[in-house]
Structure 1
């Protein structure tokens, strides 16, 4: 069996990497920090395309990045442009009802589980804001402290997430690029699955 060529390896983009430089990934940041491969300002995606070809990326990581972007739709549309059909994306973000979403003065937007539906097309069945990307949220993982919730049923934990502050330590959202673009139709809307993860 022939060995896999380097050019055939999955192309993975670590966006807003900061100091979290990852081997095997294209590390992108707004600053030319050590280990950064590509310097680009992700807040300018509406006017400045990223330096990648259409349909060229297999995987994306946005770890504690998107809450810093005032206008996320141009960014998500640009990432959809460079994504291969079925490309995977993981977004890690503070939950909107946690103090971490607000204490950092560079955070400009809170996120909740349903927020990510707006990165798909079907959710625009009521209004057209010009967004032309289609990322289907598949799984939302709520990371909650084990010491507080051990022994509780998921339904009990979900009730507290909806009613209280500072329950979810981190929200992890897995999405997939849908190509071609779906129609903005209510009947095509799909809710993501929800998972509870107990963390130390």
Structure 2
């Protein structure tokens, strides 16, 4: 009989979730695994290969300096098709750069580098493989203005204006085995908008 699959709450902090394995770099109530994600390149996560079916990472990715080793290590423990839901500030927001603990801005363009098809452009030795399935932008209705019903125009503004997006949530799926570097077309994916007052 095989072991049951895990759901992993990455960087849970004080938001441990029942029914999930809660991981953080500090001991705290509800934390099941104390582990520093910056060490993924040298120290394996204490989970077996192909043991996680779902990941949650709420405002974690922007804090990681060594992000490619981390995404590769998450890929190792993921089953094929495992879902990673990652919330983060958008690269074009003050929220991305105002926090001195943030190491990077995050964008849809950057998320594509977690999938092997992008590596027709570059090879950094990364062998994880994630497909972006969809991206949801949380946007202040007042900032969207008259473009609230004009998705193409809003997507254009997101790329050129600051502070349009309050939060970006990406849904990514593990592809196993990983595709060869640079092979396969990166799939198009839908954008969703969540307008807040």
Which residue number corresponds to residue 109 of structure 1? 104
CA distance in 2, matches of 1:64, 1:133: 21
Aligned equivalent of 1:179, options 167, 176, 181: 176
State the secondary structure of the residue aligned to 1:157: helix
State the secondary structure of the residue aligned to 2:149: coil
Which residue number corresponds to residue 131 of structure 2? 136
Greater Cα shift, 104-113 or 185-194: 185-194
Which residue number corresponds to residue 92 of structure 2? 97
Distance 1:193 1:14, change over 3 A: same
User: Please, which runs of 5 or more residues in structure 2 have no aligned partner?
Assistant: none
Q: Compute the RMSD of aligned alpha carbons.
A: 1.6
State the secondary structure of the residue aligned to 1:174: strand
Which residue number corresponds to residue 65 of structure 1? 60
Which residue number corresponds to residue 74 of structure 1? 69
Deviation at 1:44, TM superposition (A): 0.4
Which segments of structure 1 move beyond 4 Å, counting only runs of 4 or more?
7-10
Which residue number corresponds to residue 84 of structure 1? 79
CA distance in 2, matches of 1:189, 1:73: 18
Aligned equivalent of 1:30, options 25, 28, 45: 25
Give the aligned length: 194
Deviation at 1:8, TM superposition (A): 7.2
With the length of structure 2 as denominator, give the TM-score of the two structures: 0.93
State the secondary structure of the residue aligned to 1:188: coil
1:195 matched to 2:187? The reply is no
User: Please, which runs of 5 or more residues in structure 1 have no aligned partner?
Assistant: 1-6
Whether the aligned pair in 2 keeps the contact of 1:135 and 1:175 (CA below 8 Å) is yes
With the length of structure 1 as denominator, give the TM-score of the two structures: 0.91
